[in-house]
Structure 1
Amino acid sequence: MAFVGIAIGRGWRFASKTARALGRLPRFQSWISSKQSVIDSAEECLLTFHREAPRAFWASLALNFAVHALALLEVYIVLKFMGARVTLIAALALEGLTKLINLAGSLNPGNVGTYEGGNMLITKLFGITASSGLTLALCRRARAIFWAAIGAVCLMLMRRASQQNQTDLESNPNVQESREEAMNPEQQKHSQTVIILATCEQNATGFSSSLARVGTLPILLRAILTIHGTEADRIIVATGCGQAKLIRSALRQTGRLPDSIKFRELGQEMDLSSLIRHEGVTSESVTIISGDTIFKPQLLHSAIEWDGTGALALATDRELAGIYVLPQLLALDVFGKCKLPHQVLANVHSCVQSRGFAVIKGVPADMWHKVAVPEDLPEAERKLDTWLLKPTDGLFARNNRRVSIPISRQLIKLPLTPNMVTMLVLGVSFTSGVFFARGGYWSTLLGAFLSVAASVLDGCDGEVARLKLQSTRLGCWLETVCDYLYYLFVFGGLALGLTRSSGSKTYLAWGALLCFGAVMSFLVVSFTRAPLFPRTSRKIPRGMAEES
């Protein structure tokens, strides 16, 4: 721990460098390369936190140690009250082994059963009875449920106060007058404009990179839909080959092209530099994106949120990634003097770099992929699959993705929305609960099979939403509700089935306790997410858009 503290204090990038060193080993190369961006991002956030707020960083670290110390004291006191002979050293060992049980229990929902059984085994290793270990586990679970309930009540009170403040603010006449002024078209300005450079069809092969489909959607449309859900106020598709109408017609045939998208034909009357300068008059920043490249959505989001003083160029090993951000002053000054007869992003970079205003930021190669020829499409599809994984996915979720992603790939070929997939999975969950409730060996076995199937298919709705770029607030809310209905169906079905098979009503009490825990977890999650129909914003927060 002392070494970690010194490394953080001096800003050493120990984790990322160690990961890169391990990545050179053939055995770990593929696995480390898939995790490298997550490791780099986590380490950067940690070092930035320490650099910008050192007191808060060390205070949070001290609180973290205090929490573990209190957990150790909890184990010691509970066992002492039960008359067990235990020392602080033994309590420390028990708490440490409990962490391993929690890790192993991440494979099943809520760590139900694994936590209790693990505590019984651990306490027996120290000469304490299994009943004492079970009692310790139940006491700690009751404590967790109690504080979860307290947290849910606090969240409800805070949400109610926030809604009341919002209502008072909207009823303020000064606020209403400001909104009416903001709606005046003559005074309206676009704070952020995005220009997407569409490529022309190659006459020799008839292949158009911008209209090539990745994940059933044209590459150009993927960029449009991703940007449309960000803070960008204006999106322009620019092409210089006289095919603006053809490209717009092709995108409209998908039924997904937003009406607010503008198309511009570049030529002698208006070249790319003139368009940049024209949009810079009413925009705080102008972002230029290659229309023949697929991007991980987080990469586009971070670029559009850029607020630096210089131009931002994203690159991998000095190869431009296809995203360029220009602040207003540069858009007006530099491109008032620099002419761009061709719509090539490299020309934009050369023009800005010649005046020393470019900030080049390195990005991992697995966050974008340029499609120049048809042979580039398979690699683009592979990278798109890797973007379906989430950093929060545990071991169990990642194993499920191996099955759910191929299924989602087939589902996107059908006229199904993510919400339809969610309801389909809910039907499988309900059927599983019905078979569990019937009791008996074969019914329970079939219920277990359907339960595993529902767990695997649970990721399909979010994967379809990300593949087809159809994430919505309603879908996020519906997916959350159906997730917890799955627990209610399974827990309730198991309790009824075991009661019918054994004749003991004890299982009903256990089932009621598990269902109560699922309901409380749902309340906590639902109140921490954004409201379903917000009053002030049409955008979808990126955290909500990441369905499971």
Structure 2
Amino acid sequence: MTRASRANVIRWGALAVGIVLFVGALYYINLSMAVGTIRRLGVALPLALFFSGLWHLARTWAWAQCFPQPRNVSFLRLARVRLAAEAFSYLTLRGIAGEPLKVVLLNDRVDTREATAAVALERMAYMIVTALIVGIGSVLAILMLPLTRLWFRVFRAFALTAAIVAVLAGLVVSGRGVYMQALLLRMDRWFGTSIASGRISRFVTAVERQMLDLVRGNPRRLAVLVASTVAAYVFMALEAWVILRASGTPVSAIGAMTVETFSRVASFASAFIPANLGALEASSLAAVAAIGVAGGGAALALARRIRGLFWAGIGLAIYPRGAQRPAPADAETAVAGGELSTPQVLLYIPRDPGVKVSPTVRFAGMGLGERILRSALRAGYSRVIVWEPEGSAGASPRLFTRLAREIGRSTIARTPETLRSALSEFAIDGHVTVVGAGTLVSPALLRDAAEMATDAGCVRDVSAGDDWPVSGVIRMRSDAAGDAAFVSKALAARRAEAWRPNGDDVSSGRARLAIRVVDTDDIARAEHHLRRSSYKDTDATVARFNRRISLPISIALIPTPLTANQLSVILVAIGFYSGWLFSFGSYWAGVGAAFLSLAASVLDGCDGEIARLKYQESALGCWIETVGDYSYYIAIFIGMTFGAVHQTGWGLFYWIGMAAIGGTLLTFALLIYLRTRITAGQPTRLHAVARERFNTDASLWTRITWNLAFVATRAAMPYGIMVLAFLYALPLVIVLAAIGSNLYWVTLVIKLRDLLREEETVAA
């Protein structure tokens, strides 16, 4: 049997075991009772998620202590790496697949040997201390709970095993040498091999030595590892206690600890089963049965399954990306903005005596200088050369040094010789785009500049639009750009031209972003135009009102590591939670769900705003946002359907809800089809293109349908839901959704020929 065959046998065998356990657990679970129990959990479910979040923080705290101090990786980075690896591990082989991923995700900050030792030490400490806690919990269960003979033997075995682990751990920690190398040498003597001298063996031995040195040389670290593992155990016991109590199952603190004790053992034993499928359900039922309160097993199993999926989703959403490392210019020809025909160079001159605004001044949460560098890289430039001559007034060498290290593909020139050398090395085609002090531009304008050719001795202005021939950005030959005085004079002449497009011109597509900010009095105006440029030209009145709330939040989030796609995933989770609250059918649950729905609606603009202001726009991001919006509608309609039945007692609402969901799905299917057909690869243009074509030769019916469609938008609908929630009339939403969604998809079908007609779309 080949290695691949053995791997397949193990993988499918583990999955089969999980399925058998899952089916067995379902056999003993009354599903209708379990679903009803989960519904009764109410606020206990988010409280349980809170305790599991504390568990993750405790584990991250322990892991942080396993690195040599001071460590060169932040706690936040470790938390992100750990959640991402745990998410991957949860879906594959827990405790096996995720641990190597932690090392891989840290390889840009931490030496591989140090990272491996830290991961191994934290995992070993967790297993050993957990074994000791399991032993103590088993003893308490034996002494204080009325166990059956079978469970008495089970917990006695746990206690004896924990005692053996404690003795062995004590011997290892109190010892002086390493053990793996000695074992390998002994095996070599027995079998005549040379395993101990191999590369892998040397690496494993080095990791073992470093791991033991970390523990033996620092009693405080050992204390932290023990304390964090105990805290993690307590948090999980609290989670079990909260869920069982909320489900109406009487359980004591000792009982909750006993449940967690058995769950820990089952977790270790079932690590080879992907997603712990079946084992989690079976262990929850068995653990609760052991303390004589079997009625809460289903609720505990389902709640913990929800918890696992929740944190797996969070982990995948915040999956960390390694820091960008500088790469050779000839390898940097493509970026998210698209591939340029030849490597392009941007020369940035951030300071000028005539400009009083420093490149460190923040606009929409990001410094002016950083915006220029990120815009250039987003536009596809392979190199940014920053002219910061030594001794220049107001120079801040560390600013661009830091940016060059973080962003990459940047060169700082401090002397005329280094400037000319950099231009000669990187400007392969002989053309350079130049941006000077007091100018803020977008990636789109810089990309336009990259397509322009120039003649020797010629300086060309890069237009911001038909009505704005001067943007402050110029294009010239690289040999002329080596004369910094000549370039500065050319830029000063452009700054004297104050006519620039405003934010509305940019958001409507009439112009590229080009803002002149020379004096301190220009800062507020520039900030206003930059913010307005992040609007969409398709925004209705309600959407623009929402942006007055969402935009300040987005700007506050700009300096954080949060990406637009990660925020989209968070909003999806809020939408699903709103739908769950709607399903209760009670007054205050409906009001709370409506409030969350409205909050998610307002924040829905943040992901797009962050993407535009951080230069992270992508077709993928647009699709993620679209899927998030669609899932929001489905979640709240499903929740409202169940809520309407519970509120009114009328089973008819099941059929009305099915009609609403069916019409919504048909509408979404048509919109997805149109998005792929009529947007020319620019999915964000769907609304603008559809609006223009929808109203072509429009009848009274289609005009009314289009004008009323805004009521069902993500921006407007939550306000209506909030009003109906206060009136305790949420079932009316399902009725209106059933009517409106089906009328809308029928209208789309009627206008499909007009919508699909061949026509060149306007570039974004």
Question: What's the TM-score once normalised by structure 2's chain length?
Answer: 0.37
Aligned to 1:170: none
- Indicate conservation of the 8 Å contact 2:619/2:683, yes or no: no
Is the counterpart of residue 469 in structure 1 residue 615 in structure 2? yes
Pair 1:214-2:363 in alignment? yes
Corresponding letter in the other structure for 1:378: A
**Counterparts in 2 of 1:176-215, with a 5 A limit?**
190-199=342-351, 209-215=358-364
Query: Contact 1:436 / 1:443 at 8 angstroms: preserved in 2?
Result: yes
Partner AA of 1:376 in structure 2 = D
Query: Is the aligned partner of 1:503 residue 2:640?
Result: no
Which residue of structure 1 lines up, in the alignment, with residue 542 of structure 2?
396
| Contact kept? 1:238, 1:244, Cα under 8 Å | no
SS of residue in 2 equivalent to 1:491: helix
CA distance in 1 between counterparts of 2:535 and 2:332 reads 43
- Sort the Cα spacing of 1:469 and 1:183 in 2 relative to 1 into closer, same or farther, 3 A: closer
8 Å CA contact 1:404–1:457 kept in 2: the answer is yes
> Which digits, 9 at most, give the CA deviation of each residue in 1:118-165, with x for residues without a partner?
xxxxxxxxxxxxxxxxxxxxxxxxxxxxxxxxxxxxxxxxxxxxxxxx
Residue 468 of structure 1, CA deviation: 3.1
Q: Distance in 2 between matches of 1:307 and 1:361?
A: 25
Separation of aligned partners in 1, 2:631 and 2:527: 33
Is residue 2:501 matched to residue 1:364? yes
1:325 to 475, 490, 503: 475
The reply on whether 1:341 has 2:516 as its aligned counterpart is no
Superposition deviation, residue 293 in structure 1: 1.8
Distance 1:208 1:303 in 2: 24
The alignment covers a number of residue pairs equal to 335
Separation in structure 1 between the aligned mates of residue 664 and residue 425 of structure 2, nearest angstrom: 56
Is the CA contact (8 Å cut-off) linking 2:382 and 2:409 kept in structure 1? no
* Equivalent position SS for 1:344: helix
Distance 1:298 1:472, change over 3 A: closer
Distance 1:525 1:254 in 2: 41
Quote how far apart the aligned CAs of 1:510 are.
1.3
Q: State which of 370, 377, 382 in structure 2 corresponds to 1:233.
A: 382
2:640 is the counterpart of 1:494: yes
Structure 1 residues 318 and 305: alpha-carbon distance in aligned structure 2, compared to 1, 3 A threshold:
closer
Distance apart, 1:517 and its partner CA: 2.5
Quote how far apart the aligned CAs of 1:224 are.
0.9
Report the equivalent of 2:447: 301
Q: 1:343: Cα distance to partner?
A: 4.5
- Structure 1 residue runs without a partner (length 5+): 1-181, 351-359, 531-540
Matching residue of 1:51: none
Contact 2:352–2:437 (Cα < 8 Å) also in 1: no
Q: Tell me the secondary structure at the aligned position of residue 458 of structure 1.
A: helix
Instruction: Identify if the C-alpha distance between structure 1 residues 254 and 270 changes in structure 2 by more than 3 Å, giving closer, same or farther.
Output: closer
Q: Quick check: 2:359–2:369 contact (8 Å CA) kept in 1?
A: yes
Aligned pairs (5 A) from 1:88-237:
190-199=342-351, 209-237=358-386
Question: What is the alpha-carbon distance in structure 2 between the residues aligned to residue 340 and residue 254 of structure 1?
Answer: 22
Picking from 284, 292, 312, the partner of 2:460 is: 312
CA displacement at 1:495 relative to structure 2: 2.4
Inter-partner Cα distance in structure 2 for 1:387 and 1:471: 14
Structure 1 residues 341, 184: closer, same or farther in 2, change over 3 A?
closer
**Residue identity opposite 1:192 in structure 2:** Q
The match for 2:762 is: none
Q: CA deviation at 1:282?
A: 1.8
Q: 1:386 offset after TM fit, Å?
A: 0.7
- One-letter amino acid of the structure 2 residue matched with residue 466 of structure 1: R
Consecutive unaligned residues in structure 2, runs of 5 or more? 1-329, 334-339, 504-512, 687-713, 715-764
When residues 468 and 424 of structure 1 are mapped into structure 2, their CA distance, relative to the original with a 3 A threshold, is same
The residue type paired with residue 501 of structure 2 is: P
Q: Could you tell me how far 1:295 is from its partner in structure 2? A: 1.8
* CA distance in 1: counterparts of 2:364 and 2:398, whole angstroms: 20
Q: Match of 2:407, SS?
A: coil
Q: In the superposition, relative to structure 1, how do residues 231 and 436 fare at CA in structure 2: closer, same or farther (>3 Å)? A: same
More strand by share: 1
Q: Distance in 2 between matches of 1:513 and 1:421?
A: 28
- The TM-score with structure 1 as length reference comes to 0.51
Q: Is the 8 A contact 1:436 1:493 kept in 2?
A: yes
Q: After superposition, what is the alpha-carbon deviation per residue over 1:351-375, rounded to whole angstroms, capped at 9, x for unaligned?
A: xxxxxxxxx9985255333333444
Does the CA contact (< 8 Å) of 2:389 and 2:414 recur in 1?
yes
| Aligned-partner Cα distance in 2 for 1:292–1:372 | 5
**Which letter maps to 1:325?**
R
Q: CA deviation at 1:236?
A: 1.5
Q: Which residue of 1 aligns with 2:532?
A: 386
Q: In the TM superposition, what whole-angstrom CA distance separates every residue of 1:453-487 from its partner, at most 9, and x where no partner exists?
A: 22211011121233333445654443232122112
Partner of residue 592, structure 2: 446
CA distance in 1, matches of 2:584, 2:332: 64
Which AA in structure 2 matches 1:197?
I
Deviations 1:479-538 (A, max 9, x none): 2321221121122222222233332132232133134225525743785699xxxxxxxx
How many Å apart are 1:244 and its aligned residue? 12
Larger radius of gyration: 2
Conserved in 2, the CA contact under 8 Å of 1:194 and 1:236? yes
The answer as to whether partners of 2:347 and 2:435 remain within 8 angstroms in 1 is yes
Residue-by-residue CA offset, 1:257-316 (whole Å, 9 max, x unaligned): 32211222243x467xx5797379622632111143212443333333335877531479
> Partner letter of residue 235 of structure 1?
V
Is 2:416 the counterpart of 1:259? Answer: no
The aligned counterpart of 2:40 is none
Distance 2:656 2:372 in 1: 52
